Amino acid sequence: MKRLLVLGIVLIPIGTAKAKTPEIHCPGDNTVEMRYCAGVSASQASAKLKKMISRDQFKQWQETIGALCARAYASYKEGTIYPQLVVGCEDHLSRAMLKEFESLGN
Q: Over the stretch 84-96, which tens digit does the pLDDT of each residue have?
A: 999 999 999 999 9
- Which residue type sits at 61? W
Instruction: Return the pLDDT at 24.
Output: 84
| pLDDT at 37 exceeding the cut of 50 | yes
The terminus-to-terminus CA distance of the chain in angstroms comes to: 76
Angstrom CA distances, 18 to 15, 21, 25, 46, 75, stand at: 9, 9, 21, 33, 41
Local confidence band at 7 (pLDDT 50, 70, 90 cut-offs): very low
Q: Is the full-model pTM beyond 0.95?
A: no
